[in-house]
Amino acid sequence: MTTSDHKAKGDAPDKAPKGREGSSFGIIVSFFLIGFGLSMAVGWIAFPKLLYSEKQQPFDFNHAIHMDLVDEGCESCHLFREDGTYAGVPTLDQCSGCHEDAQSDSPDEEIFVNEYVANQQEVPWLIYSKQPDCVFFSHAVHVKTAEMECAECHGDIGTSESLKVYRENRITGYSQDIWGANIAGLKKNTWDRMKMDDCGSCHLERMGSKGPCFQCHK
Ligand code: HEC
Ligand code: HEC
Ligand code: HEC
Ligand code: HEC
Ligand code: HEC
């Protein structure tokens, strides 16, 4: 009895400080978690939002609808010129044959016809895949010689119903499609980004070498 009494008495003073220690430990942990949570929120949510300015295309464009209307697939609009260079984004004369008059009641087409077709003004499309001027890239060698699919580098834009938001890196001026949306640098698909290393690692895999600097910088 005396021993358990003693034990009980001995326990009591011990427990109080333990409780206090426990709660201050809890406070430290929760401060840590809140701070950690905030910094993660800044790093993963706020920072990318601050880093990129969002720009809208002049109007939306539906690739899927148009693919059903043209005869030569992607090449109806994205064609190789006679000298082998790529025309890239289509010019107005590739559209106006069909769009002299409105083809639908779409508000996007209304903008297109009234502001661009009627005034014969080229559409100032934003180019998601635009590389800096110092980079030399040729579609012919990749699409014709190496027989690569568009989607391998561009994803599903060509079959999409709507153009995505264009995000421009405020520091580098690069489109987000160059360095990728994932700030940890993770890459799930071949088209997630197109940095120097992404060009180089495919060249290493398919040609056995990353190639000399002047291959891509002329
Ligand atoms: C009727 C014309 C038309 C056809 C057919 C067409 N496109 Fe396009 N495409 C456009 C227009 C207009 C844009 C401009 C939007 C923009 O700036 O991205 C575009 C943009 C693109 C882009 C984005 C380029 C960039 O980096 O901004 C890709 C990739 C693309 N098209 C792929 C394809 C593929 C693949 C096909 C075939 C499956 C295809 N397109 C068929 C008209 C067309
Ligand atoms: C072969 C004829 C043809 C060509 C070439 C063509 N269009 Fe169209 N376009 C149509 C038709 C038809 C519709 C209506 C489709 C519907 O509503 O079913 C349409 C719809 C649209 C629309 C409204 C739907 C949407 O995409 O959001 C826009 C905008 C448009 N076209 C822009 C363009 C541009 C820009 C080009 C040139 C790069 C172009 N079109 C080339 C026939 C064409
Ligand atoms: C090996 C990767 C790769 C493949 C395959 C590829 N592209 Fe590209 N594409 C690029 C790169 C990189 C750019 C940017 C080039 C630049 O800015 O100098 C680009 C740019 C473009 C542009 C915008 C050009 C402009 O500035 O007007 C269009 C449109 C486009 N590609 C469509 C296509 C289509 C359609 C196909 C399939 C026939 C295709 N691409 C296949 C990598 C690729
Ligand atoms: C997914 C694979 C892949 C990606 C990504 C890729 N390439 Fe290539 N590239 C190739 C292949 C394959 C060839 C060789 C084609 C041939 O000659 O048979 C090539 C050839 C080239 C050549 C011509 C080399 C020569 O000696 O003629 C240049 C320049 C080039 N690529 C630049 C680029 C740039 C710049 C990028 C990134 C923006 C890029 N490539 C992305 C696969 C790729
Ligand atoms: C396979 C193609 C390829 C090769 C080979 C290559 N580069 Fe690049 N380089 C690129 C691409 C694409 C970019 C733009 C995207 C980026 O910044 O990663 C770039 C960007 C750069 C930039 C930044 C330029 C800017 O305006 O932001 C420098 C500097 C550079 N490269 C130097 C080099 C040097 C030095 C070598 C040789 C050791 C080399 N590159 C080899 C494709 C290549």
Taking the CA of residue 74 as reference, the ligand 3 atom at the shortest distance is: 35
* pLDDT tens digit sequence for 96-151: 999 998 999 999 999 999 999 999 999 999 999 999 999 999 999 999 999 999 99
CA–centroid distance, 126 to ligand 4, in Å, is 24
Residue 182's nearest CA partner among 43, 38, 35 is: 43
Does the beta carbon of 153 sit less than 6 angstroms from any atom of ligand 3? yes
Q: Which of 6-20, 73-87, 124-138, 178-192 has the lowest mean pLDDT?
A: 6-20
What residues contact 199, with CB distance under 8 A and at least 6 apart?
216
Taking the CA of residue 128 as reference, the ligand 3 atom at the shortest distance is: 23
* pLDDT tens digit sequence for 34-93: 888 877 776 666 676 788 999 999 999 999 999 999 999 999 999 999 888 899 999 999
* pLDDT at residue 4 in the model: 43
Sign of CA dihedral 99, 103, 109, 114: positive
Q: Contact at 8 Å (CB) between 143 and 150? A: yes
Q: Is the pLDDT confidence value at 16 over 80?
A: no
Q: What is the dihedral of CA 109, 113, 115, 119, to 10 degrees?
A: 160
Does the beta carbon of 57 sit less than 6 angstroms from any atom of ligand 2? no
Q: Is the pLDDT confidence value at 3 over 60?
A: no
